[in-house]
Structures are given as structure tokens and as C-alpha cells.
Amino acid sequence: MAVREPRGRGGRRPTLEQVAERAGVGRGTVSRVINGSPRVSDRTRALVEAAVAELGYVPNTAARALAADRTDAIALVVPEPERRFFAEPYFSEIIQGVGQALAETEVQLLLTFAGGHKERRRLAQYLGAQRVDGVLLVSVHAGDPLPDLVDQLGVPAVISGRRSADERLPSVDSDNFGGGRAAVEHLVERGRRTIALITGPLDVYGARRRHEGCLAALEAAGRAADPELVAAGDFTEEGGRRAMAELLARRPDLDAVFAGSDVMAGGARLVLREAGRRIPQDVALVGYDDSVIARHMEPTLTSVRQPIAEMGREMTRLLLDEIAHRSADRPASATGERRQLVLATELVVRDSS
């Protein structure tokens, strides 16, 4: 007759204590071996490792977290209200990168959905309740209070994309300036004379940098920046349509368009087609993001690729670094380490230009 275990499922797992007994050593020694302390003799270490293997011992996360005040978990905070965030491959790729960086460690990834303002406040509380060792914040809005809230709570955090030129928090960004510049340089090289620009919302730092890159490329090519050739979009397809219609009305002679996102480029394409302009013969079109849309558009869309998976990877590394430093009582922020990363973008040339 099977004896019923006190509680829980599938029988109790072995504890540190049991491993210690089996190896004929003390609890502290086993703990030292498990945690890779150098202060253990080789003989003892081998003994303990054998016992661990025999018993199939796995440390209890909860107990460790409670005793050591460290969870070996980080959270990726997802701004859920934005469906856009899910629709674009951005999300998947970021997670892919995070997963890769985490694979080399014992750290777990927690997904947290931050909805409205109250939920964000609740989230902040939870973060304070030692649920995770650090936080990855993606797709942060300019005026979002969350990053600073998290920072004040003393929770290590890394954000994707700087919110401004003088970002204080550790961050990983892609080279928006270089990306915008490369797109326009490409159009110039292709012999395009009248290049129109559809920008993203300019209060978003990344969108503004893209635009500044475009302007720099134009200037380098000896062309004056023409306000008639610039229209602001809002990263939506509809916004791209509106901007394109506007530009076409003002300057029917344009022969190239750079849109600050693929989605806006998609909207622009529809307007161009309706106006009877052929792509790329009459008008060259370049987008930004190198999203799925770009590869499946007709014609396929030239676009600027951001290394999103790599951003996820670097964000994670930065965060793990910060966590390690803080637990060693010397925040990386105080060691003058580089905590702002900017990764290169790449122009992917396809049929639309």
C-alpha cells in the first residue's frame, strides 16, 4: 500500500539536507557546491556532485528566492493595449533574442502585460515584491511614467529605444539616424531627383532620428531640405495614405518616397497605384522595419532592417550585468560602464527602388 505523501504532487523531491546526508557532508557544503563556490576541496565536491546526480536533486526555486532575496527571473513588460505590438514581428523577434541570451543562464523569463494606468501601478508593486530581479521594458512611450517608477523602486531595468537624446536608463537602440540616412542615400544613388519623406510622429525619438538621418543624407548630396516634400504620418497605413496624397498634391513631380515604417509605405503604395504611378519605374518606394509586409508586398519593398533579435539579446545581457553588479553592491551605473547601446541598421534592397 502506497504511503500518501504529506502534500503536493508526485512525491517530494530531494532536499539539500538529503543530498548532504547522502554525501556525508554538511548542508552548507552542498550549498557551496551547488552555487559553485571555490571554497570546497575537489574531493568533497566530487562526493557532493555524485550524490546530486544519484538523487536527481534540483534546488527549490522558491526556497532559494526566499533565503537569498533573488529570483533568477526577469520580466519582459509588454504594453498590451497596443495590438500593433503583437501584429508586428517586433515582439516575436525581441523574445527570440531574449531567449537566446537567457539560454546560457539559469534565468527564467516572465511575461507581464501592462494594460492601463492602474495595471501599471499594480505591476510596479509586484515588481517591488521581489518577484523578479530585473525588468525589460519594450516599446516605451515618450511620456510613460513606468520606466521612472521602476527605477525609483530600485529594480534594475533596461529599455528598448531611448526616449530622448539624454536617456538616463540603460537602453538598447538601433541606429535610426543611420537607417534614415542610408535609405535616402540609396535613393540618391539610384538617381532619384525629387525625394519625398513620410515621417513618423516626430515626438517619438526614434522617428525623429530617422528623419534627421534623411535630412543629413539630402544635405550631403547637396540638396536643400524642401518642406513641401515632407509630410508627417503616425505609423499607420491610413496615415501613410494621407501623407502620400498630400505629397502628391503638392509635388506631382516627385520620383521617390521614403516612409518611416513599412506599414506607412503600404498605405503610400495604394495611393501611388491609384494615381497611376508605377513602382519603381515612376516612383521609388523605401520603407522602414523590414517587416513581413515588405517581403510580401508587390513589388517587394526595399526597407531598413533593425536587428531586433540582437536588440533583445543585448538588452538581456545589459540587464543581467546590471543585476550582477548590484548584488555585488556596486551598481554598474556607478562604475561608468557603457549602458547605452546603439546597434547598426541595414538597408535591404528589393524591387521597389
Partner DNA sequence: CATCACGGTGGGAGCGCTCCCACCGTACCG
Partner DNA sequence: CGGTACGGTGGGAGCGCTCCCACCGTGATG
- Taking the C-alpha atoms of residue 350 and residue 301, their distance in angstroms, rounded to an integer, is 6
Which residue in the set 27, 121, 141, 278 belongs to the binding site for DNA (CB under 7 A)? Answer: 27
The SS3 call for residue 134 is strand
Which residue in the set 22, 25, 77, 138 belongs to the binding site for DNA (CB under 7 A)? Answer: 25
Q: Say how many CA atoms lie within 13 Å of 21 toward its Cβ.
A: 6
**Residue 196 contacts residue 228 (beta carbons within 8 Å):** no
Q: Is 84 a residue that touches DNA (CB under 7 A)?
A: no
Q: Is 16 a residue that touches DNA (CB under 7 A)?
A: yes
Q: Is 141 a residue that touches DNA (CB under 7 A)?
A: no
The residues in 153-172 that bind a copy of itself, with binding defined as CB under 8 A, are 153-155
Could you count the other beta carbons within 10 Å of the beta carbon of residue 83? 8
Q: Is 154 a residue that touches DNA (CB under 7 A)?
A: no
Q: Is 71 a residue that touches a copy of itself (CB under 8 A)?
A: yes
Which residue in the set 36, 41, 106, 276 belongs to the binding site for DNA (CB under 7 A)? Answer: 41
* Angle of CA points 204, 209, 214, to nearest 5°: 130
DSSP for 8-67 reads SSSSPPP-HHHHHHHHTS-HHHHHHHHTT-S-S-HHHHHHHHHHHHHHT----HHHHHHH
Binding partner of 153, given DNA, a copy of itself, none, CB within 5-8 angstroms per partner class: a copy of itself
Could you count the other beta carbons within 10 Å of the beta carbon of residue 238? 12
Parallel/antiparallel/unpaired status of strands 256-259 and 195-199? parallel
| CB nearer to DNA: pick between 39 and 296 | 39
Shortest Å distance, C-beta 193 to a copy of itself? 29
Question: How is residue 43 written as a grid cell?
Answer: 574531493
Chain residues that interact with a copy of itself, rule: CB under 8 A: 7-10, 13, 56, 58-63, 65-66, 69, 71, 73, 76, 78, 80, 86-87, 89, 91-93, 95-96, 99, 102-103, 108-113, 115, 125-126, 128-131, 153-155, 292-293, 296-298, 326
- Residue numbers of the site for DNA (CB under 7 A)? 7, 12-13, 15-17, 24-29, 31-32, 34-35, 38-41, 43-44, 57, 59-60, 63-64, 66-68
